[in-house]
A and B are shown apart, each in its own frame.
Chain A
Amino acid sequence: MFATSVATITAAGTASKLGTMVLGLAVFAVVFVGILLFASLFKGRVGEKVQAVAFVGPTLLFISIALIYPAILTIRRAFYDGKFFDLNFGSLRSRGKFVGFENFQLLWTTPGLPEVFRNTVFWVVLVPFLATAFGLLYATLIDRARGEAAAKALIFLPMAISMVGATLIWKFVYFYNGDPGSNQTGLLNAIITKLGMDPVDFVGNAPGNTFALIAIMIWIQAGFAMTVLSAAIKAIPDEIIEAAKLDGVSGLKMFRFVTLPSIRSSVIVVLTTIAIATLKAFDIVQASSGGKLGDSVLANEFYNRSFVTQQPGLGAAIAIVIFLLVMPIIVFNVIQFRKDA
């Protein structure tokens, strides 16, 4: 499918696509202005209500269509059997049948899935804490140092690379030449063999490959953590730092008693944001081995089951599990925000 779409991109095709886009934007603008004009017709108390509906209504409508309706479909699908096509487009007779909680049972009876859960736990525990720790350490070390902006840009750059791109870059770092005695062209293995040790197949064998992939995610997220935490550190009033200096605090104690408590809420936001991003991250595993080498995670498995192995019911069950895992993190975050407000 990808190949054919590449082939059809001709000049005429591009022009017509552009035209469609412009048309779409124009329609959007007309509808939007129309709604506003309509809302402005009403004055007074009623007008306020109409305006509120005019502004919030479209948002609610699109959220319902694009978010809530699919969510309901997914939940429903988790209780049905059948292939992807049957579930969505098949005739009534060939449509999947209701199977109750069977799909959820499959979560732990399917071979390979328990490892997926174990891997996901490693990801969700290691990535947020290590990425935040590295980011915090880096932000503290470079704070007010010379060349701070350049040092920050260096660490932040990975954020601008897509996860697939990052994985490809790291594949070069991890590359393992299985042919004994031949040259190791992967960066890490080249270094290892130069030091006289045997090369390691970093991404080839479970469970080590999971940690190799986790390192990639940390590499990406540490920049985000560093940026947010660095801004938080800079927001601490100078006078507080000076008061602490006069109180006899320095070095690690300054960090432990003054800096860290002052940026506590930022640390929590960073931790939870990265945790959520990690739970949803499917690209790294997909771009590495596709999860076939015992390194799969829930998000990747959701895709695998839904589209590759044609078990959409099981895929939907996994999606629900991911959602249930993200929920408490979000709730915790909201509670924290309330506390700070």
Chain B
Amino acid sequence: MATVRFDEATRVYPGNDTPSVNKLNIDVQDGEFLVLVGPSGCGKSTSLRMLAGLEEVNDGKIWIGDRDVTDLSPKDRDVAMVFQNYALYPHMSVADNMGFALKIAGVDKSEIRKRVEEAANILDLTAYLERKPKALSGGQRQRVAMGRAIVRSPQVFLMDEPLSNLDAKLRVQTRTQIASLQRRLGVTTVYVTHDQVEAMTMGDRIALLKDGILQQCATPREMYDSPANLFVAGFIGSPAMNLVAVPAGPDGARFGSHTVPLPRERSEHGGKGVVVGVRPEDVEVTTNPDGLELTVDVIEELGADAYVYGTPTDPEVTLEGGDDNLAKPFIARVDGRNVPAKGSKIFVYPKSEHLHVFDQASGKRI
């Protein structure tokens, strides 16, 4: 077990001008479960592969514990990786797959057998030890891949989207299993996913990347409650946060008939160029003319709750797309037993204690 440290780690693919991973700085604590998350092409997998030694580090350093592993070959790093497609050896039985690294390391046969059986027991694979991977289901293969990592008892687990080939139900189940297994084994883990729900539910901390640059690295709660910039705000949370570009008023940004208070240096400009962020559950909905007026487009019934999708009637108010920059509806969560009618006019205003304000130009949190 060990800490992991990315120190200004940079990867530039040959022929590219911009780095795929740009001066990444992350400290992973001993035994911590860190999730690297971001949209595709953000450099999260590359970062993981740099840590595994499968990708060259062009600049900066990577440390595992107090060892500088930047230039070590993968086998000398004492890390185990679970691949997206599991990468099981098709010609070996499940037991041989799991014990292969130990066999190469010259571990005694009976010792290998013992450790493989232990891991198989944890993962509920005992009945399948003599089977070939071809004769296993997707979920079983995934567990074998996990077992292969566990058997080695490495310093760090690396997981590259290990759940993306499972069906939705199994994914949710396995998500919990992996998280609890990691807590039990206490092995430092770096986990890559593009799914923010996975990131929120599994990680001790989340590192959100975009275009090779780290946006924010914090606990799921912090990421949710105080996103560092517009991108984080739009990426974390489902449905996404409403990011409303509002017109300026005399003493702050005008959110309909409400005024959003701003720090002094911003309010001097009348709150020009700010984006107000409010999560769907932090929206007060009323039929009284109080706040921002919306036309209700769609109602999504979820039973206990319902989500109202609406468009602001004031054309000066626009919604930021968050991560994909498309026109988005304003989303508000309402009580499932008290839903406004489609096409009706409603008014919304943010609960003042859960308000996020961002600078529109820089995207930074104010």
Q: How far is the CA of A126 from the CA of B84 in the complex (A)?
A: 43
B87 contacts A by Cβ under 8 Å: yes
B91 close to A243 (CB less than 8 A): no
A245 contacts B by Cβ under 8 Å: yes
B86-128 to A contact mask, C-beta < 8 Å, 1/0: 0111111000000011001100000000000000000000000
B104 close to A243 (CB less than 8 A): no
B104 close to A247 (CB less than 8 A): yes
> Which residues of B are found within 8 Å of A180, using beta-carbon distances?
none
A249 close to B75 (CB less than 8 A): yes
A257 contacts B by Cβ under 8 Å: yes
> Which residues of B are found within 8 Å of A237, using beta-carbon distances?
85, 87
B90 close to A262 (CB less than 8 A): yes
A242 close to B100 (CB less than 8 A): no
Taking the closest CB of chain A, its distance from the CB of B111, in whole angstroms, is: 16
B80 contacts A by Cβ under 8 Å: yes
Enumerate A185-244 residues with CB–CB distance to B below 8 Å: 237, 239-240, 242-244
Residue among B81, B88, B148 facing the most chain A CB atoms (10 A cut-off): B81
A248 close to B54 (CB less than 8 A): no
B296-317 to A contact mask, C-beta < 8 Å, 1/0: 0000000000000000000000
B73 close to A243 (CB less than 8 A): no
Select one of B54, B88, B92, B101 contacting A242, CB under 8 A: B54
Known: A239-B85, A246-B74, A246-B75. A262 touches B100 (CB 8 A): no
Q: How far is the CA of A237 from the CA of B133 in the complex (A)?
A: 15
> Which residues of B are found within 8 Å of A250, using beta-carbon distances?
73, 75
A24 contacts B by Cβ under 8 Å: no
How many chain B residues sit at the interface, stated as a range, is 20 to 34
A49 contacts B by Cβ under 8 Å: no
Enumerate A255-296 residues with CB–CB distance to B below 8 Å: 257-258, 261-262, 264
> Which residues of B are found within 8 Å of A248, using beta-carbon distances?
75, 101, 104-105
- Secondary structure at the A interface, as helix, strand, loop or mixed, is helix
> Which residues of B are found within 8 Å of A242, using beta-carbon distances?
52, 54, 74, 81, 83, 87
A253 contacts B by Cβ under 8 Å: yes
A247 close to B73 (CB less than 8 A): no
B79 contacts A by Cβ under 8 Å: yes
A239 close to B83 (CB less than 8 A): yes
A264 close to B80 (CB less than 8 A): no
Q: How far is the CA of A258 from the CA of B91 in the complex (A)?
A: 9
Closest to A241 in B: B87
Known: A246-B80, A247-B100. A240 touches B87 (CB 8 A): yes
Enumerate B3-53 residues with CB–CB distance to A below 8 Å: 52-53
Q: How far is the CA of A249 from the CA of B105 in the complex (A)?
A: 9
> Which residues of A are found within 8 Å of B73, using beta-carbon distances?
245, 250
Q: How far is the CA of A257 from the CA of B101 in the complex (A)?
A: 11
Q: How far is the CA of A261 from the CA of B90 in the complex (A)?
A: 9
Taking the closest CB of chain A, its distance from the CB of B22, in whole angstroms, is: 24
A243-B88, A257-B100 known, 11 other contacts, Cβ within 8 Å:
A239-B87, A242-B52, A244-B89, A245-B75, A246-B74, A246-B101, A247-B152, A249-B104, A253-B104, A261-B91, A262-B90
Which 5 A/B pairs are nearest by Cβ-Cβ distance?
A239-B87, A248-B75, A247-B101, A243-B87, A261-B91
